[in-house]
A and B are shown apart, each in its own frame.
Chain A
Amino acid sequence: MTAVRGVSWALWQRHRVVLLIVAGVVGTFSSALATNRIDRIPAPVAGMGLLLLVFAYLALVGVFIQPDADVATGGSSYPVHLFVLPVRTWILALWPMLVGTAAVFLAAESVLLADKSSGTEAVPLWWPALFASALLAGLQAIFWYPLGIPYSKLVLTFLHIGGLAVAAGLAVSYRVGEGLMCAGLLGIIAVSAVIASIGVSRARRGDIRIFELDRRPSGLSLQAPAPIRAYPGSGPAQSWYEWRLHGIILPMMVAALFGLFCIPLTVKDTYTPVTLVAPLGGLYPTIPTYVATYLPLLFVLVPFAAWIVGCGAKRTDVKRGDHTFHLFFATRPSSDRTLAAQKLWCAAKSSAVAWFLVLLGLAAILAGARGGYQSVGQDYVAPYRLPLSTVILPYLDETTVLRSVAILALLILWTWRNYAVGFWTELSGSLWLRYGYPIGGLLVASGVFTLLYWTARPGESWLSFSLLAGAFWVCVLAKGVGLLALLRYQRGTGVLTPRIVARALASYAAVSGAIILVLFALTGIVRSDFMSIGGSPLVIDSLFVGAVLFWVPLVRLLAAPVMLHHNRHRS
C-alpha cells in the first residue's frame, strides 16, 4: 500500500492544480445540468460548456498519460523518474491506469446522471462513460509501450480515437445493446492494461529497439564517407529543420486519418444521390452513403488537426521545466524574425502537403469506390458498379470546378491559419499564456453569450444577425487595439519595423479582400436564405465582411516573432 500511496502522491503533487480545475469544471457543468434540461440551456452556452468539458477530458488524458518524451519518440513516454521507485512494475503501470480510468468514468458518469436527473430522456447511462475510460486506457497503452517506430504513437493515437469513434457510431446505428457495448469497452480497457504493463516493463529494463531504415552494422565503415554538402543558405537549412521537426506531423496525421476513413469503404454500403449538382438526362450521380456523410467531415477535420498540431502536438522547441528554447535553436545565428518566418513558412508547406495527400486520397476514392445513377424520381437506373470518377466527372462543369478550387484554396488557407495562430503562445514560453489564452477566450465567449441570453427581452430572439454582425465588428476593433498594444510592447526590440508592419497590413488587406470576394461569389444562396429569415442585405453583408476581417489573423501572426524574441532573450 505504501508503494501505491507513493505513486498516487507523485501524481497528485505534479498535477493537483489541473485536477482541481477539472473537478471544478465537471462539478459546475453537472450542477447546471441537474437543474436545467440540456435543451433548455441556450445552444451556444451549452456548446461552450461542452467544449470546456472536452478540454477537461483532454486535461485528464494529459495528466494520466504523464508523457515525459515527445510524441514522435519510438520509445516509451512513461516518466523515467518513476522507474527508480522501489515499486513493482505492474503497480507503476496499472495504478495510474486504474486511477485515470476511474476518474474519467466518475466525471463522465456525474454529467450523465445530472442530465438524466433533469428529465432528459433516452440518455445512455453507462457506455459513454466507459467509452471515455477506454479511450484513455488505449492512449496510455500507446504512449507507454516502446513501439520502436518514430511517430507511430501519433498514427496509432488517431487510429485508436477514430476506430473507437467509428465502432461506437456503428454500434449505436445498429442498435447494439448497452450491455454488449459495455462488455466490449471493458475488454478494450483490459487489453490496454496488459499492453501498458508489458510496455512499462520493457521500458523499465531498457528493452527498447528503435526501428531505423538503414540498419547498418555498428562501427565505422572502412570506406571514406560520402562528401557532405551544406545547404545553399541558412533559409533552406532552417526550412529543412522546421520541416523535419514539425512540418511532417500534420501530413502524417492526415494520411492516418484518410487511411482510417477508407477502411469502411470496403464494406457494402447504401448509396445516396448527390443532388447538389444539376441532373444530366434526368439522372443524379449516386455515391456510397458513407462517403457522402463523412467526407465533408474529413475536410473539416484537416484544419482542426492543424489547430491541434499548431498548439503543440508536435516536437517542441522549448525545454520542459523553464520553457526556454533549446540552446541549439536559441543560438542559431539568425534573427528572431527569420526564425519565426521559417515557422510560418513551414506551416504553409505542411498545410499544402496535407491537402495534397487529401487530394490523392480523394483520387483513390474516385478510382476505387463504386457508384451509379438515380433518376430524379428516385428510381434506380444503373447497378452501382461504376468507378466514382466515371459517375461524377460528367457532372463537373466549369463553374463547379472553379467553385471547388476556390473552396480548396479557402480550406488550405484555413488549415494554415489554424496551424499558425497558436505560434505566439507556444513560442512565448509562458504556460499561463499557452493554456490561459484558449481557455480564457472560451470563458469570455461563454460569458458574453450567457449575458445576451439572460438580458434578452421576452419574446425576442437573444441572438440576431445585427447583434452577431456588431459582435464581429467589435472583435475587429479589438484586433486594432491589440495591434497597437503589440507595437507598443515590442518597441525597442526592433522585431517589427514600420516596413514589416506596413507589409503585414497590406497582406492582411489583400488576403481579407480576396476571401471576401470569393465568399461573396460562393455564398449567394446562403445570404439570400439569411435575408429571407429576417436579415437586411446590409446587415448580412456586414456580417460576412466583419467575420472575414475577424477570422484572418494579423495580430497573432505578428506576435509570433515578438514572443520568440521575448523567450529567446529573456529579460
Chain B
Amino acid sequence: MEEPIIEIKGLTRRFGRNTALNDIDLTVRPGIVMGLVGENGAGKTTLIKHVLGLLCAQEGSVRVFGKDPVANPESVLSQIGYLSEEGDLPMWMRVRELIRYAAAFYPTWDMDYAQRLLREFSLDPDAKLSKLSKGQRSRAGLLVAMAYRPQLLLLDEPSSGLDPIVRRDILGAIIRTIADDGRTVLFSSHLLSEVERVSDRIAILKSGRILLNDTLENVKQRHVRVTLLFSAARESPPDLEGSLGWSGGKREWSTTYFGPITQLEAAAAAMGARIVDRHGLSLDEIFVAQVGAA
C-alpha cells in the first residue's frame, strides 16, 4: 500500500481550557480528494494548521509526506499548495510580483502554466492585489497555489463568500488537480454541495472530534431517511440503534438512520413496525443529522 500523504494519530490540541482537537486520527492516501466538513469552531482550520506545521502537536503526531511538518517546513511546504478563506496575500504586491516571488520557492513551478492560469482567470499582472476584488484575489491565491503542481492541495474554506463563478474556478482547479497525475486534495468547506461534487472521502468534525470518516459512497449508502408505521400509537420515539433523531408522533415516526440497512429492517420488525417510506439523503442532510445528533 502506498505511503499516506497525511497521517495524523491521536492529535489533541488545547487552547487554554478549550479543546480544539480531541484525539484525532486521520489518514489521507495519495490521489484522493478529502472533504473536511464541520460547524464553525469544529476544529477544521486548527487541523489544517497542524498539517501545515503552523501548530505543534501537543499530543499525538502529524506526518505529512512521512515527515514532521514542524521540523521540516522546507520540504513539506514545498509540496503543498495552500489557499485559505482569509486569503492573507500581501496586498502591497502586484500580481506579477506575487508570481515572480512565489515561483522562486518551488522547483516544480511551471511558468507557462502560471501564464495560462493568469489568462484563464482574467488577472491583470500589473494590478495590485489590494485593488482586486475578493474573487480576483482568491483566483490569484489559487494561481500561486497550483502553478507548481503540488502533490497536496490544501484548501481551507476557499470559496466562502465568493460568487458562483469563482467557486466554479476553485472546483475546476480541484478537478484538474485530480486529473493531473492523481494528486491529493484536502479541502474544508461549508458548501456541502461542492464537497459532495468532488470528494472521494469526507470527514465530519464536531467539537474537535471526527464523527465520521468514510468514502462518500459509503456515507451516502449508510444514511437513509425512513418512516416507520407502528401497529399502535406511541408516546415517545422508539429506541433504535443508529437513529440520528426522530420526528413524528402517534403511529408514524420518521428518523435519519445511519448503519446497515439490513439491521434497520430487522430492528423495525422486532419493534412491530414496518418501513413505509425510505429515501437517500444529500450530504447537506447527512451533515445536519450527524452534527445535530452528536
Which A residues contact B (CB, under 8 angstroms)? 72, 150, 212, 214, 216, 219-221, 225-234, 236-237, 240-241, 244-245, 315, 324, 326-328, 330-336, 338, 494, 568-571
Contacts and interface: CB of A to CB of B under 8 A. Distances in A.
Nearest to B79: A333
B55 A570 contact: yes
A230 B126 CA distance: 15
Contact of B70 (A232, A324, A569): A569
B92 A232 contact: no
A322 B253 CA distance: 49
28 contacts: A150-B92, A216-B126, A225-B96, A225-B125, A228-B96, A228-B114, A228-B115, A231-B101, A231-B104, A234-B104, A236-B104, A237-B103, A237-B104, A244-B93, A324-B54, A327-B54, A328-B90, A333-B75, A333-B105, A333-B106, A334-B74, A568-B53, A568-B54, A569-B53, A569-B56, A569-B70, A570-B55, A571-B56
B262 to A, nearest CB: 47
A237 B98 CA distance: 10
B122 A220 contact: yes
B54 A225 contact: no
Interface in B95-112: 96, 99-101, 103-106, 109, 111
Contact of A335 (B55, B74, B90, B103): B74
Contacts of B74: 333-335, 338
Contact of B111 (A72, A228, A334, A336): A228
A239 to B, nearest CB: 10
A336 B101 contact: no
A328 B88 contact: yes
Contacts of B128: 212
Interface in B11-28: none
A234 B104 CA distance: 5
Contacts of A571: 55-56, 58
Interface string B69-97: 01101111110101010101110110010
Interface string B118-129: 100010111010
Contact of B124 (A220, A331, A569): A220
Nearest to B109: A230
Nearest to A150: B92
Contacts of A233: 104
A326 B74 CA distance: 17
Contacts of B106: 333
Contacts of A232: 104
B52 A331 contact: yes
Contacts of B78: 333
Which of A221, A237, A333, A336 has most chain B Cβ within 10 Å? A333
B88 A327 contact: yes
A327 B70 CA distance: 15
Nearest to B71: A494
Nearest to A236: B104
A569 B73 CA distance: 10
Given A225-B125, A225-B126, A230-B109, A327 B101 contact: no
Nearest to B84: A327
B125 A237 contact: no
B54 A570 contact: yes
A244 B92 contact: yes
Contacts of B125: 225-226, 228
A245 B90 contact: yes
Nearest to B148: A333
B73 A336 contact: yes
Contacts of B90: 241, 245, 326, 328
B88 A326 contact: yes
A244 B126 CA distance: 17
Contacts of A330: 52, 54
A569 B104 contact: no
Given A220-B122, A569-B73, 12 more contacts: A221-B124, A230-B100, A230-B104, A230-B109, A233-B104, A244-B92, A327-B88, A330-B54, A331-B52, A334-B105, A569-B56, A570-B56
B79 to A, nearest CB: 8
Nearest to A566: B56
A227 to B, nearest CB: 8
A570 B122 CA distance: 38
Contacts of B52: 330-331
Contacts of B122: 220
A241 B100 contact: no
Contacts of B80: 331
Contacts of A245: 90, 92
Contacts of A231: 100-101, 103-104
Contacts of B93: 244
B104 A328 contact: no
B77 A331 contact: yes
Contacts of B99: 228, 230
Contacts of A241: 90, 101
Nearest to B101: A237
A333 B76 CA distance: 7
A131 to B, nearest CB: 35
B62 to A, nearest CB: 11
A231 to B, nearest CB: 4
A240 B101 contact: yes
Interface in B173-227: none
Which of A214, A328, A330, A568 has most chain B Cβ within 10 Å? A328
Given A334-B74, A569-B54, A234 B118 contact: no
A569 B53 CA distance: 6
Contacts of A494: 71
Contacts of A331: 52, 54, 77, 80, 82
Given A228-B111, A230-B111, A237-B100, A332 B54 contact: no
Nearest to A74: B130
Which of A220, A226, A330, A569 has most chain B Cβ within 10 Å? A569
A533 B34 CA distance: 79
Contacts of A336: 73
A335 B76 CA distance: 11
A32 to B, nearest CB: 40
A240 B78 CA distance: 19
Nearest to B103: A230
Contacts of A244: 92-93
